Amino acid sequence: MGKPTGFKEFTRQTVPYRNAAERLIDYKEIYTPHDDEKLSLQGARCMDCGVPFCQSDNGCPVYNLIPEWNDLIYNERWEEALERLHKTNNFPEFTGRVCPAPCEGACVLGVNDPAVTIKNIECSIIDKGFEEGWVVAKPPSKRSGKNIAIVGSGPAGLAAAAQLNQAGHTITVYERDDRIGGLLMYGIPNMKLEKNIVDRRVEILKEEGIAFLTNSDVGGDGKNSVELTQLLSQSDALLLATGATTPRNLNIPNRDGEGIYFAMDFLAKNTQSLLDSNLENKNYISAENKKVIVIGGGDTGTDCIGTSLRHGCQSLVNFEIMEKPPLERSSDNPWPLWPKIYRVDYGHEESMEKFGTDPRVYSISGKEFVRDENGKLLGINTVKVDENFNEIADTVEFWEADLILLSMGFLGPEHYVSSKVNLEIDGRSNYKADYKNFKTNVNKVFVAGDCRRGQSLVVRAIDEGRLVAERIDKFLNVG
């Protein structure tokens, strides 16, 4: 603890986003520069709480040593803080930007006062580390002679690759897209995570000896496809870290046809076009001058809002089937559980800036999509629902729209990857393997991340990537 009375002396001050009107006209990151002096004082707010719940099961999934690096930055020992941060987290530059910070929800100071600004501090430590040249490639001193194939280059696959490579194994990562990063590259828009941030880390991993193969669709039927059985025959171990990429559909009348798209199709194509041509090639789903409805909340829904606004949509509404959350914790949501409270994220703030209102409509469910006789999308009929999602009588309403984006979560991995090896599936369609074991029913095959646990956070994917690497290392009897 850097300053015993710091939590009494200093109030919480977060690093602000760029002005909403300013950031709406570009795809640059929404964040403003860090102020080292102010963040050092924020680190001083960390209490001598005895039991740091921020790094408990309710807090940080990778068990970041939060009190230690809070103390270090208060004492201006930034390079040591970076060492402590990297001890538990391979990619703090990702989590410091996109993680919702369950650590802050579990912060002991948060029982009575606003929590320590842990996420801002984490991001500032790693950004300073890159600025000062402290983050460099560290190739392993020797190799084990063991080859490991990793399918998927999202946060779980990259974390596992980094750890296994440091153990001396030879790693090849297979990615079906044209760029490395998985969810980090095409699932999260540029304004939340600029892609040079991802590329920068990937280049370090390459310098450390990891091989990356893009446009390699394992189990697919394209010209660059690779069979999983082939990889198994060539490898001493194989890890599937493909994510949960099967979207949940909205199976109501008139679903099929133009104008209705899954959120990830919308977001991924936009980012790819942005990176390829600054959107000039028009190879994306445009919301320009359209009446947009986003169905489903969460981070992905917010990203659809932010992207639609940057396209120049005519109007924007966001449907959420849940009730509007309270401003403060309810009695059944006590500390240190994640606080289920009303929040205004960057996309909501931007929508308010452009249209004057919060775009969210709560306790609402779609009944049927409406199309004209030629199949053109006109909108959607909805109904209000109660807290148990039962329809409320006489509440049917028509909402005009010519672009509807479905952001209702994901159901599990795409099984074409593993179809020829009879990988066992659990009751939720995920690959079946126990946490901290990660071994499947097929010899030499391990699974980790969202394809095993279901849709979750980037930081949980990193946690599983690190843990499965330890398990694979033991399986190979090396280290």
Q: What is the pLDDT of residue 478?
A: 53
Report the alpha-carbon distance of residue 455 to residue 460 in Å, rounded: 10
Last residue in a domain, options 131, 160, 182: 131
Own/partner contacts of 270-279, CB < 8 Å, gap of 24 or more, are 270/189, 270/307, 271/185, 271/186, 271/189, 271/190, 271/195, 272/178, 272/186, 274/27, 274/190, 275/179, 275/195
User: Is residue 23 a part of any domain in this protein?
Assistant: no
Report the alpha-carbon distance of residue 320 to residue 361 in Å, rounded: 6
Q: Are residues 400 and 256 in the same domain?
A: yes
Q: What is the pLDDT of residue 48?
A: 84
Report the alpha-carbon distance of residue 264 to residue 284 in Å, rounded: 12
- CA dihedral defined by 455, 123, 468, 148, rounded to 10 degrees? 110
User: Is residue 71 a part of any domain in this protein?
Assistant: yes
Cβ burial 279-293 (10 Å sphere, 16+ → b, else e): beeeebbbbeebbbb
Q: Are residues 207 and 254 in the same domain?
A: no
Report the alpha-carbon distance of residue 238 to residue 350 in Å, rounded: 43
Q: Are residues 314 and 428 in the same domain?
A: no
Q: What is the pLDDT of residue 195?
A: 98
Spatial CB neighbours of 57, under 8 Å, sequence gap ≥ 6: none
Q: What is the pLDDT of residue 1?
A: 67
User: Is residue 196 a part of any domain in this protein?
Assistant: yes
Report the alpha-carbon distance of residue 105 to residue 111 in Å, rounded: 9
> Structural domain tally of the chain?
3
| Per-residue pLDDT in tens (0 to 9) along the chain, 479 residues | 678 899 999 999 999 999 999 999 999 999 999 999 999 999 999 998 989 999 998 999 999 999 999 999 999 999 999 999 999 999 999 999 999 999 999 999 999 999 999 999 999 999 999 999 999 999 999 999 999 999 999 999 999 999 999 999 999 999 999 999 999 999 999 999 999 999 999 999 999 999 999 999 999 988 888 999 999 999 999 999 999 999 999 999 999 999 999 999 999 999 999 999 999 999 999 999 999 999 998 999 999 999 999 999 999 999 999 999 999 999 999 999 999 999 999 999 999 999 999 999 999 999 999 999 999 999 999 999 999 999 999 999 999 999 999 999 999 999 999 988 999 999 999 999 999 999 999 999 999 999 999 999 999 999 999 999 999 999 998 54
User: Is residue 469 a part of any domain in this protein?
Assistant: yes
Q: What is the pLDDT of residue 224?
A: 81
User: Is residue 65 a part of any domain in this protein?
Assistant: yes
End-to-end CA, the chain: 35
Which 8-state DSSP code applies to residue 184? Answer: I
Beta strand 377-384 pairing with 364-371: antiparallel
- Burial (CB count within 10 angstroms: exposed 0-12, middle 13-18, buried 19+), residue 4: exposed
Last residue in a domain, options 379, 408, 437: 408
User: Is residue 24 a part of any domain in this protein?
Assistant: no
Number of Cβ within a 10 Å radius of residue 250: 17
Q: Are residues 123 and 180 in the same domain?
A: no
Which has the closest alpha carbon to 313: 295, 294, 286?
286
Q: What predicted TM-score, i.e. pTM, was given to this entire model? A: 0.96
Angle at 191 between CA 188 and CA 195, to 5 degrees: 65
Report the alpha-carbon distance of residue 296 to residue 25 in Å, rounded: 25
Do residues 406 and 262 touch, judged by C-beta distance below 8 A?
A: yes
Q: Are residues 401 and 254 in the same domain?
A: yes
Percent helix, strand, coil in the chain, to 5, is 35, 15, 50
Q: What is the pLDDT of residue 479?
A: 43
Last residue in a domain, options 382, 408, 434: 408
Do residues 86 and 61 touch, judged by C-beta distance below 8 A?
A: no
Q: Are residues 99 and 116 in the same domain?
A: yes
Range of the domain at 464: 147-245+411-475
User: Is residue 97 a part of any domain in this protein?
Assistant: yes
Report the alpha-carbon distance of residue 316 to residue 371 in Å, rounded: 19
Structure tokens at 210: 């990891």
- Domain containing residue 193: CATH number: 3.50.50.60
Q: Are residues 271 and 235 in the same domain?
A: no
Which has the closest alpha carbon to 215: 175, 242, 158, 185?
175
User: Is residue 166 a part of any domain in this protein?
Assistant: yes
Q: Are residues 341 and 449 in the same domain?
A: no
Which has the closest alpha carbon to 60: 127, 140, 116?
116
Structure tokens at 102: 């369950």
Q: Are residues 265 and 309 in the same domain?
A: yes
Q: Are residues 111 and 43 in the same domain?
A: yes
Q: Are residues 264 and 371 in the same domain?
A: yes
Q: Are residues 273 and 404 in the same domain?
A: yes
Q: What is the pLDDT of residue 78?
A: 97
